[in-house]
């Protein structure tokens, strides 16, 4: 764990005790069993708002506490351990980040306080196809005077069914595949011509597919200059990746803890299975991978807070290394639990399924290995 | 803790001193190839070593009375950084063999005042080289199985037996050895740690040639070799706790890249571009190799970040920590993989043994690759580190390493 300030330690402790008492994995399971379309339980969400977590990234002038990304990461990690579901990440982390980095003063003033008090859920709509590829954005934004008409579709939009607003990545110029020509618009969910459908994913969270059929927005809804959002989009996505990294650390370290516990209690051949060297060494390798991954995950959040010029590299490193660890860890969680690990009644499967979704979001490991190499110039 | 502002003042002091004392003639000196000894080096080299030693900066955290400078870990780091900044190096650790990294810290902990005064200054100044007689033909990972005997004859211990893989034994002045002093006691309870001079009739060394072609270590034979009784380190028959501590220091010293690594070394990806070429979009022409290089660079970065994180968590106090096993294994993996990738990218040029068809860099890469295989064997093999992690860190019951 990084060296924390007093305030960070307080919030981390609060997150640990709240998540284990009020949002344990059993609550997530209950919600999944009910088939909740929104993908989260309302009381869980309003408790988070009350605790002030929705304001961690937001400056005080907009009603937040401005505590930074590492602090938010600590909360996301603890929520990850319990698979606690809510729009906290999509709205108060990614949505707020997009507004802070790209929003106009008016947009910030109108949305940030409402993100903080939970009355708005603002989420980013970026992916369109099977792979995360922002440059391949095809959703078209045709400018007509001070109007822009949006046509196209988005997929895997986080909390898309409960969102009140979407921050939409659209193409104002150029062809799909070109990094240039992208714009960001903030679009209310009830805009004429915008429709959404839930996507049922293996992690039982709330995602939506969006369809834009000539949705009209104005210059006032444009975030930043038209056609020039590529760079800021990268910055937004990097912060999102580091946040996913933090949650992945939580999911992975919980999977490790469950596995270690089983190694110490399950007996076969007259001994606890953790006494077999094959498994002891596997646990040692997993532990080492976890420690190395933690360093990468925390460093990314710290680089963001420090506004360093190597944020992009650090965030790709985090997404790739924490993702690699979680991938292996979630597989071993099942394997080391033997037949029990395969049952729906046991929690291992919930962690495995969440793991794969987190790995996929905002670029999987291979995406970020490639990106890291490009950032290093090869 | 030293305040940051004090550290800044100290930094400029060090920087000035290094710049005016480091002989520019030594700038291209390659500390990596062979560990230098006092006899084989130039006058400038000797003067630089002595200048560092006079400040106590070869071993900055050691007490002043024993040749150190009594500085804090953050201050020592400043010295390391400032020395590296101008392409200089601290020759003292490699010149003492196992002295600075392992023997010295253990004497500081277990030694009597008399032993500290006798042995530490020679290490701190870089003038006395030490080797370690631990491993034996039948006692490797299972070190406690050692059988070299030491018998008390009144004023000295008389040693008989054989050690193996003793690094630098042929050029060392002193040896720290674990020996059996109570053959009737349980395996770990009858061992003592003694220190003895190498230049005596009862000690004989024979060089062992390695796969890399180098012969940096020996078989060491003790035939009635003498270790003075005042050179027993720690209590009689308590050598196991001394050597366990010593091995922790060894592991700790192997958690980061060797000090000799040059800072201006060409990055792996640039070297790869030179050998492999690039595609139109600037990516490496061999996409499979490219991804494996990225992974290695990421692993190297993850390792460095972990070293920093553990240091930050310890609030600047660098202690021998349980995490050393994790770091030793990750350092080993990064270095061995890097050596493999280097050879692979060099292709036909990466298989040379000697001769002018191959560049010096290419030939060295081959030898380094071979030598690097030892990293996962010495200092507690990779498997032994995993045993330590699973038993000591994770608390899993052990079924191996009994006795
Ligand atoms: C889909 C499915 C279908 C099945 N169908 C049948 C069936 O039709 N009939 C039937 O009788 N059974 C069936 N089984 C049970 C199956 O045979 C057991 O799950 C299997 O024998 C493992 O036992 P376990 O689950 O108790 O795990 P455990 O034996 O408790 O193993 C837990 C973990 O410890 C490891 N381990 C155990 N011992 C050692 C050791 N000595 N050294 C190293 N590692 C060790 C295992 O590899 C595993 O990773 C089925 C299981 C599944 C998942
Ligand atoms: C370059 C180099 C320098 C060295 N310098 C010195 C020196 O200066 N002084 C000195 O005393 N020694 C030195 N050594 C020796 C070194 O400490 C030993 O090689 C090491 O302890 C391993 O012992 P071994 O070679 O006998 O291998 P073994 O112990 O026989 O091991 C053989 C294989 O079995 C594995 N193994 C052994 N036990 C277990 C277990 N319980 N669980 C799982 N796997 C196991 C090992 O990991 C290894 O892969 C050096 C070695 C090298 C290569």
Distance, CA A322 to ligand 2 centroid (Å)?
32
In this prediction, residues A3-16 reach a mean pLDDT of: 94
Provide mean pLDDT across the span B351-365. 96
Asked whether the beta carbons of residue B278 and residue A288 sit closer than 8 angstroms, the reply is no
Question: Residue A16 pLDDT more than 80?
Answer: yes
Q: Is this complex's ipTM strictly greater than 0.90?
A: yes
Pick the CATH number of A123-228 from 2.40.110.10, 3.30.1330.10, 2.40.40.20, 3.30.70.260: 2.40.110.10
The DSSP code for A343 is -
3-state secondary structure of A378: coil
Other C-beta atoms closer than 10 Å to the C-beta of A18 total 20
Q: How far away, in angstroms, is B134 Cα from ligand 2 center?
A: 10
Please report residues of A whose CB lies closer than 8 A to that of B321.
none
User: DSSP letters of B366-381?
Assistant: HHHHHHHGGGGTSSS-
Say what the pLDDT of residue B116 is.
Answer: 98
| CB-defined site of ligand 2, < 6 Å | B 131-135, 140-141, 165-167, 217, 374, 377-378, 381, 383-384, 387, 400-401
Least CB–CB distance from A1: residue in B313, B323, B393: B313
Could you state, in order of their start, the residue ranges of all structural domains in chain A?
6-120, 123-228, 231-375
Q: Does residue A333 line the site of ligand 1, with CB under 6 A? A: no
Averaged pLDDT of chain B: 91
Q: Which residues contact B261 (CB under 8 A, 6 or more apart)?
A: B32
Cβ neighbours for A10, distance < 8 A, ≥ 6 positions apart: none
3-state SS, residue A170: strand
Instruction: Give backbone dihedrals phi and psi of B26, rounded to 5 degrees, phi first.
Output: -90, 0
Kindly tell me if the per-residue pLDDT of A150 is higher than 50.
yes
Does pLDDT of A375 surpass 70? yes
DSSP string, B250-287: HHHHTSS--TTS-TTPPPHHHHHHHHH-B-TTSSBS-H
Number of CB atoms found within 10 A of residue B24's CB: 11
DSSP string, B97-132: BTIIIIIHHHHHHH--HHHHHHHHHHHHTT---EEE
Q: State the pLDDT at residue A285.
A: 98
* Model confidence at B379: pLDDT above 60: yes
Query: A229: pLDDT confidence band, cut at 50, 70 and 90?
Result: very high
Q: Which residues are CB-contacts of A239 (< 8 A; sequence separation ≥ 6)?
A: A69, A93, A94, A97, A101, A304, A315
B128 pLDDT above the threshold of 90: yes
Residue-wise pLDDT for B22-70, tens only, equals 998 888 776 655 566 666 778 888 999 999 999 999 999 999 999 999 9
Whether the CB of A21 sits within 6 Å of ligand 1: no
* Cβ atoms B71, B61 nearer than 8 A: yes
A113-117 long-range contacts (CB < 8 A, ≥24 apart) are: A113/A62, A113/A63, A115/A54, A115/A58, A115/A91, A116/A49, A116/A54, A116/A55, A116/A58, A116/A62, A116/A63, A116/A64, A116/A92, A117/A49, A117/A54, A117/A63
Ligand 1 centroid from CA A335, angstroms: 9
| Nearest ligand 1 atom to alpha carbon A269 | 41
Q: What is the pLDDT of residues B286-339, one digit of tens each?
A: 999 999 999 999 999 999 999 999 888 876 555 556 688 999 999 999 999 999
B44/A contact by beta carbon, under 8 A: no
pLDDT at B25: 83
pLDDT number for residue B313: 80
Q: Cβ neighbours of residue B314 under 8 Å, at least 6 residues apart?
A: B321
Is the pLDDT reported for residue B107 higher than 50? yes
Closest CA relative to residue B120, chosen from B62, B192, B199 = B62
Contact residues for A321 (Cβ-Cβ < 8 A; gap 6+): A292, A293, A296, A297, B298, B302
Ligand at minimal distance from the CA of B215 is 2
CATH classification number, A231-375, choose in 1.20.140.10, 3.10.180.10, 1.10.260.40, 3.40.50.1100: 1.20.140.10
Structure tokens at A191: 């805009």
The fold of A6-120 is Butyryl-Coa Dehydrogenase, subunit A; domain 1 (1.10.540)
Q: Inform me whether the pLDDT recorded for A245 exceeds 60.
A: yes
Find out whether B363 and B353 touch, Cβ atoms under 8 Å. Answer: yes
Percent of chain A with pLDDT over 70: 100
| pLDDT grade for B1, boundaries at 50, 70 and 90 | very low
> Which domains are seen in chain B, by residue range?
4-95 (1.10.540), 130-239 (2.40.110.10), 266-393 (1.20.140.10)
Rounded to two decimals, the pTM is 0.94
Question: What gap in Å lies between CA B313 and CA A81, rounded to an integer?
Answer: 22
Report DSSP state, residue A62: G
Residue B377 has pLDDT above 60, yes or no: yes
Neighbours of B152 (CB within 10 A): 13
Q: Decide the pairing of beta strands A147-158 and A207-218.
A: antiparallel
d(CA B362, CA B221): 37
How many CB pairs (< 8 A) connect A and B? 123
pLDDT at B259: 44
Question: B260 falls in which pLDDT band (50, 70, 90)?
Answer: very low
pLDDT for B263 beyond 70? no
User: Measured from the CB, is residue A266 less than 6 Å from ligand 1?
Assistant: yes
């Amino acid at each position: 764990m990084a060296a924390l300030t007093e305030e960070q330690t307080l919030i981390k402790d609060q997150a640990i005790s709240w998540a284990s008492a009020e949002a344990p994995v059993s609550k997530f399971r209950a919600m999944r069993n009910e088939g909740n379309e929104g993908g989260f339980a309302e009381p869980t969400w309003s408790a988070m708002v009350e605790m002030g977590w929705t304001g961690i990234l937001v400056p005080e002038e907009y009603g937040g506490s401005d505590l930074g990304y590492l602090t938010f990461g600590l909360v996301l990690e603890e929520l990850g351990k319990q698979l606690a579901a809510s729009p906290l990440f999509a709205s108060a982390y990614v949505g707020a980040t997009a507004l802070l980095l790209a929003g106009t003063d008016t947009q910030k003033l109108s949305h940030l306080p409402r993100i903080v008090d939970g009355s708005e859920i603002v989420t980013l709509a970026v992916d369109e196809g099977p792979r995360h590829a922002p440059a391949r954005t095809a959703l078209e934004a045709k400018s007509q005077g001070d109007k822009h008409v949006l046509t196209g579709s988005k997929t895997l939009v986080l909390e898309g069914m409960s969102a009140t607003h979407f921050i939409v990545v659209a193409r104002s110029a150029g062809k799909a595949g070109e990094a240039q020509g992208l714009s960001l618009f903030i679009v209310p969910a009830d805009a004429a011509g915008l429709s959404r459908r839930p996507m049922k994913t293996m992690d039982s969270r709330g995602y939506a597919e969006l369809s834009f059929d000539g949705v009209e927005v104005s210059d006032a809804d444009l975030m930043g200059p038209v056609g020039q959002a590529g760079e800021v989009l990268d910055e937004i996505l990097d912060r999102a990746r580091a946040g996913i990294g933090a949650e992945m650390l939580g999911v992975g370290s919980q999977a490790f803890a469950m596995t270690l516990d089983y190694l110490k209690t399950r007996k076969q051949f007259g001994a606890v299975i953790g006494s077999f060297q094959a498994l002891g060494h596997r646990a040692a390798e997993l532990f080492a991978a976890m420690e190395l991954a933690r360093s990468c995950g925390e460093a990314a959040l710290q680089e963001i807070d420090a506004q360093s010029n190597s944020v992009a590299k650090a965030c790709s490193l985090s997404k790739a290394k924490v993702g690699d660890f979680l991938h292996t860890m979630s597989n071993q969680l099942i394997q080391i639990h033997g037949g029990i690990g395969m049952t729906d009644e046991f929690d291992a499967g919930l962690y495995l399924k969440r793991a794969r979704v987190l790995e996929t979001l905002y670029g999987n490991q291979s995406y970020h290995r490639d990106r890291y190499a490009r950032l290093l110039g090869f | 803790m030293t305040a940051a502002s004090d550290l800044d003042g100290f930094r400029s002091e060090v920087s000035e001193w290094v710049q005016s004392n480091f002989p520019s003639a030594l700038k291209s000196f390659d500390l990596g190839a062979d560990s230098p000894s006092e006899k084989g080096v130039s006058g400038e080299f000797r003067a630089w070593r002595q200048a560092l030693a006079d400040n106590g900066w070869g071993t900055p955290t050691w007490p002043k009375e024993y040749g150190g400078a009594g500085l804090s870990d953050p201050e020592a780091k400043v010295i390391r950084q400032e020395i590296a900044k101008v392409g200089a190096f601290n020759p003292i650790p490699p010149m003492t063999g196992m002295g600075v990294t392992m023997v010295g810290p253990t004497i500081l902990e277990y030694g009597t005042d008399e032993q500290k005064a006798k042995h530490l200054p020679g290490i701190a100044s870089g003038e006395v080289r030490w080797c370690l007689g631990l491993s034996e033909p039948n006692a490797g990972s299972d070190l406690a199985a050692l059988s070299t005997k030491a018998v008390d004859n009144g004023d000295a211990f008389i040693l008989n037996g054989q050690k193996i893989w003793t690094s630098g034994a042929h050029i060392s002045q002193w040896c720290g050895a674990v020996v059996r002093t109570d053959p009737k006691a349980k395996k770990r309870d009858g061992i003592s740690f003694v220190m003895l001079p190498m230049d005596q009739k009862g000690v004989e060394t024979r060089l062992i040639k390695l796969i890399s072609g180098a012969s940096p270590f020996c078989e060491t034979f003790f035939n009635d070799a003498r270790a003075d009784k005042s050179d027993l380190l720690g209590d009689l028959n308590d050598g196991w706790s001394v050597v366990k501590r010593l091995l922790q220091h060894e592991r700790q010293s192997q958690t980061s890249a060797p000090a000799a690594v040059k800072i201006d070394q060409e990055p792996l990806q640039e070297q790869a571009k030179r050998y492999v070429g690039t595609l139109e979009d600037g990516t490496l022409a061999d996409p499979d190799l490219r991804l494996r290089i990225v992974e290695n660079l990421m692993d190297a970065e993850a390792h460095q970040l972990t070293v920093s994180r553990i240091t930050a968590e310890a609030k600047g106090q660098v202690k021998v920590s349980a995490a050393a096993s994790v770091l030793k294994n990750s350092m080993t993996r990064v270095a061995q993989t890097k050596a493999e990738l280097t050879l692979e990218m060099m292709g036909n040029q990466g298989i040379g043994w000697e001769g002018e068809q191959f560049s010096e860099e290419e030939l060295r890469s081959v030898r380094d690759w071979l030598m690097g295989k030892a990293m996962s064997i010495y200092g507690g093999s990779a498997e032994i580190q995993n045993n330590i992690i699973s038993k000591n860190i994770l608390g899993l019951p052990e079924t191996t390493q009994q006795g």
